[in-house]
Chains A and B, each alone.
Chain A
């Protein structure tokens, strides 16, 4: 089974960058690395995904290690609306969520 490991919680000051790490040492060659975030009582929201190369979009950046066994989600300037549980997921024909990282943004 493809598994991910993330810290349970992290804190960041508002308007500072946040680096959310994820380890996925059992990743297979065809698994994509996805990141989603979830607010209380809502469905998960897509953030970003990639396969091998680093990726940027309007929400965040994804840095993928050369051996693909780890990745880092980068929020360039944290806002209060970024406070959520962030899930790092390996996606092939199955979609495994881990326990996620609860991000607290301090004003």
Chain B
């Protein structure tokens, strides 16, 4: 069992709306990364934050944005939701970008 918690666990939104997903990192971890996992696929890297700065980004459009707070918790914001944004969104925390990462259970987002 890890100390990474995500909220909410499930969410239904309408196309065109905006959504904010939250992640509380494990104590002592200063790096948080976010992933999108479509059904039957592996997780796709969205971006990573280290000490409140984005220090890595995958192939996602700018409408996917994030924040990391001084307590190292993090938010993922998605604007102008599309049907293809329906997925499991995972966050992971670690002490550094090359150490083991601990994942939360994810937020299941459904866009209708």
Contact = CB atoms under 8 A, between A and B. Distances in A.
Interface of A: 30, 32, 34, 36, 42-46, 49, 85, 87, 91-100
A104 to B, nearest CB: 16
A96 B90 contact: no
B35 interface: yes
Interface size class of B (residues with CB under 8 A): 20 to 34
B87 to A, nearest CB: 13
Given A32-B98, A94-B45, A95-B92, 18 more contacts: A30-B98, A34-B101, A36-B103, A43-B90, A43-B104, A43-B106, A44-B90, A44-B92, A44-B103, A49-B100, A91-B101, A92-B56, A93-B55, A93-B56, A95-B33, A96-B45, A97-B42, A99-B42
A91 B98 contact: yes
A98 B98 contact: no
Interface string B32-57: 01010000011111001000000111
A70 B76 CA distance: 33
A66 B46 CA distance: 31
B101 A95 contact: yes
B4 to A, nearest CB: 8
Contact of B45 (A46, A95, A99): A95
A46 B105 contact: no
Interface string B71-112: 000000000000000000010100001111111111000000
B58 interface: yes
A45 B55 CA distance: 23
B56 A94 contact: yes
Contacts of B4: 43
A85 B39 CA distance: 13
B18 to A, nearest CB: 24
